[in-house]
Structure 1
Amino acid sequence: MSTSSVSRSGPVALTRPARLPSLGRTPSGLRAALTFFVAVRLAGAAVVVLANHATGRPLLRNLAHAWDARWYQHIAAHGYGDLIDITRHGAVQTDWAFFPLYPGLIRALTTVLPLSPGKAALLLAGLAAVVAAWGVYRVGDLVYGRGVATALVVLWAVLPQSVELTIAYTESLFSALAAWSLYGVLRGRWLWAGGLAALAGLSRPSGFAVAAAVVVAGAHEAVRHRGRVSPRLWVGCLAAPVGWLGYVLWVGHRTGDLLGGYFGVQQAWNSRFDFGRGSLLFVKGLLVHGGGFVYAAALVIVVAGVLLFCLLCLDRAPLALVVFAGVLVLVVVGGSGSFASKPRFLLPAFPLLIPLARALVRSWRLRPAQAVLVVGALTAVSLLFGAYVMTVARAPL
């Protein structure tokens, strides 16, 4: 399948499943999908606020200041090099571990609007989540049709870990940049794809997954056409990794170790690629000694992500989507660090939901009540799980 463009009359149309009736066939399909997405995520935020009230905590504090959010806001207010943390094991954690795009946008917003860094961070995260859902819909519509696109947004909205889209974290911003970059690849708009991939690389450590998708898809296109491709493809592929590489090299320069400095900073956060050793040790400890509900749920989500990636490959999805999702799955499975954080690392990997979205469309056609029941149950689980991890378990996500 070509990754440069997806034609309505091309090979994609031959494998496209039947579309979702009524909702997916109307021009309001996008509006309906985004309306559902916004409603579910606002409901998720409301449930967290109510849970905070019930437990006597400040209503919005853990939405705006939970865990890593305080680091982003401190960078926005004071720049880099101003905040360090010493762990109980003596590791020196610095703010250089956090990529600059999100705190830079927070700083810009607080400069032009009378907002605190926390409120600006929440506003940016919420707006980016809507833009991300829009991009997810456009990717699904382009490749599989409006029915699957609608189902894809619905499923992404009700993931158990989707509470991360409504707190002051980078997942929504990264997801927005990734979705629209992948859309650019599928449409053959290589400059847009490369530029957005560069910005994605400035938003999260896993931003190189978008660059990998652009570069691999571009290389495939060049080989398929024996090098006779637009110069824009080469420029887009060269631009895609610039953001991620630029920040890694900048940190290396600041630490005095150009190539290894950033990875040394990450090791202080117990974050490194160890080929799955840490994940295996975690699973062994969980099975032998047990653990909290959040850690068991995280394991289930990660295993589901691996299985969904296998289904995505069997589904013969476009190469860019497979590479993007595959790199994120590889980082989650092969990387060390807190296992409770791994579900949110998979959150931007929306292509993993394509097989489920296609199944949901088929279910809607045959048994609409069953499809509605499934979506309702997933929504309830998402809202309750989000409130639980934010206010009760308070696991380090």
Structure 2
Amino acid sequence: MGAGRVKRKFAATLELVQVVWPIFVVHLLFVLTAGVLWQHYFGTLSHTVTPKRYGTFIAGLSHWDAAWFLHIAKHGYVRSNPDAAAFFPLFPITMNMVGHLFSWFAHLGTPLPHRQPGDRAYLLGGIVVSNVSFFLALAGLYIVSRRTRTPRQAVRGLWLMALFPSSYYFSAAYSESLFLMLIVFSFVFAYQRKWIWAAILMGLASLTWDLGVFGIPSLLWLVWRDFRIHQRLTKSLAHALEVSVIPVLFFSVYPAWLEHIFGNPLMFVWAEDHHWHRHFTWIWTSLHEDYLRDPLGFLASVLFLIILLAAIRRMPFEQWLFSAFALLIPLFSSAGTYPMSMVRFVLMAFPLYLFVGGAIRKMETYFAVIAACSVFMAWLTGLFASGHWIA
């Protein structure tokens, strides 16, 4: 690589960091401040994840599903806790690795058997993984958005995602950020025609959340579009095979492991039904149930379905297709008496945030949307940090 090319790459990376860094910092400060203030003034409902035990910052970002990830990071998948199979393995694996790293540095000079991380180290590891992943995801989102939008429109889309009311999940010990980062960079590599890397990242995403396998049709569409441009049948067939098979191979590792542990490769499906009562249902039934049990999730579902319909033919088809899967897959599965968690699931429809960022014309409208999002984000972040169930 020539010196000129290195300089250009360095300059492009520096520009990207300068764009993304302020958005990430504002998001993180917003989450931490809201969480600390809410815990200070209103306390916490949790009797296990408390500021006294873990510290205010860690406790505020480690409720609900974080406890499942903590259990898996510490013990793996064990027969005594089959419901944990609903949570895919890549995030707790990274949580375990970073937790061990923190513990190792914290106990330098002590014998190796005494360097095992405690719960605090694991949870901090998960929070660090999430925040690093979210920073990288924002960078990837900017790259994706700049393909079809101006810098101003791209930045607006990033702000909308970073300050969306439920975006605090991106900073918590949850798998959302890691999944988003892997999916976004799978698209980035596909746009660069680096098909194997795109397939590998999509495969890793499918080990983070089963929604990852539904990114395969978008990659196949991009391969088809590439074939129409270059008319190279043999290469295009090879690329189609790569983006189809590699993610499925990655995904199949998890069912194979579940077969080894539980004797059931579909244990994650069983756990979803057994513990969370998720099962197939028609979308209108899901929306009706969410309207009755989780009005906030219902509003999020309706809003994003409207945006999805408005975006037809107004955004790249591969992005629209993934957004449709991200919204419709959870909407076709009812959670019984539980909320459907749609305020979380809509976070994965990342192209729709980029679309709205580019579609808003008036500065006044944009600032009004950002202000409203910020108010609701402060409210939901505070509730989550104090142990309330949101999604």
Per-residue CA deviation, residues 325-344 of structure 1 (Å, 9 max, x unaligned), is: 11111112111223351221
Residues 106 and 396 (structure 1), Cα distance of their counterparts in 2 relative to 1, 3 Å cut: same
The Cα offsets for residues 194-227 of structure 1, whole Å up to 9 and x where unpaired, read as 0100000010122222233223433454467372
Taking only aligned residues, the RMSD between alpha carbons, in angstroms, comes to: 2.7
1:63/1:166 contact within 8 Å kept: no
- Does 2:279 align with 1:272? yes
Q: Which amino acid aligns with 2:76?
A: G
Other-structure match for 1:319: 317
Q: Report what 1:250 is aligned to.
A: 257
1:263 and 2:269 correspond: yes
In structure 1, the gaps of 5 or more residues are: 1-26, 85-92
Is the contact made by 1:64 and 1:121 (CA closer than 8 Å) also made in structure 2? Answer: no
State the AA in 2 paired with 1:386: T
- Identify unmatched segments of 5+ residues in structure 2: 1-13, 45-50, 104-116
TM alignment of 1:39-188, pairs within 5 A: 39-57=26-44, 58=51, 59-60=56-57, 62-81=59-78, 84=81, 94-114=83-103, 116-188=121-193
Q: Secondary structure of the equivalent of 2:324?
A: helix
Q: Residue type matched to 2:319 in 1? A: L
Give the count of matched residue pairs: 349
Task: Name the aligned partner's letter for residue 362 of structure 2.
Answer: S
Rounded Cα–Cα distance in structure 1 between residues aligned with 2:101 and 2:301: 40
Distance 1:55 1:98 in 2: 31
Cα distance, 1:161 vs. partner? Answer: 1.0
Compared with structure 1, are the counterparts of its residues 212 and 272 closer, same or farther at alpha carbon in structure 2 (3 Å cutoff)?
A: farther
Q: For residues 64 and 146 of structure 1, what CA distance do their matches in structure 2 show?
A: 32
Q: 8 Å contact 1:40–1:379 — kept in the other structure? A: no
More moved, 114-123 vs 245-254: 245-254
Work out whether 1:194 is the aligned partner of 2:191: no
Asked if structure 2 preserves the Cα contact closer than 8 Å seen for 1:190 and 1:236, the reply is yes
| Larger displacement relative to structure 2 (124-133 or 233-242) | 233-242
The verdict on how the C-alpha distance between 1:340 and 1:54 changes in structure 2, with shifts beyond 3 A counting, is farther
Distance 1:256 1:277, change over 3 A: farther
Change (3 A) 1:215 1:246: farther
| Counterpart for residue 303 of structure 1 | 302
Contact in 2 for aligned 1:182/1:320 (Cα 8 Å): no
What SS does the aligned partner of 1:241 have?
A: helix
Amino acid of the structure 2 residue aligned with 1:105? T
The residue correspondences of 1:331-346 to structure 2 (distance < 5 A) are 331-337=329-335, 338-346=338-346
- Return the offset for 1:229: 3.0
Q: Aligned partners of 1:277 and 1:228: how far apart in 2?
A: 44
Which of 367, 370, 373 aligns to 1:372? It is 367
The alignment partner of 1:142 has SS state of coil
What is the alpha-carbon distance in structure 1 between the residues aligned to residue 150 and residue 318 of structure 2?
A: 18
Q: Percent identity of the aligned residues? A: 22
CA distance in 2, matches of 1:32, 1:383: 23
Alpha-carbon separation, structure 2, partners of 1:106 and 1:304: 33
**1:309 and 1:325 in contact (8 A); partners too:** yes
Q: Displacement of 1:271 after TM fit?
A: 2.3
The answer to whether the 8 Å contact 1:185/1:214 transfers is yes
Deviations 1:80-118 (A, max 9, x none): 11652xxxxxxxx52111111011111111222226111
* SS, match of residue 203 in structure 1: coil
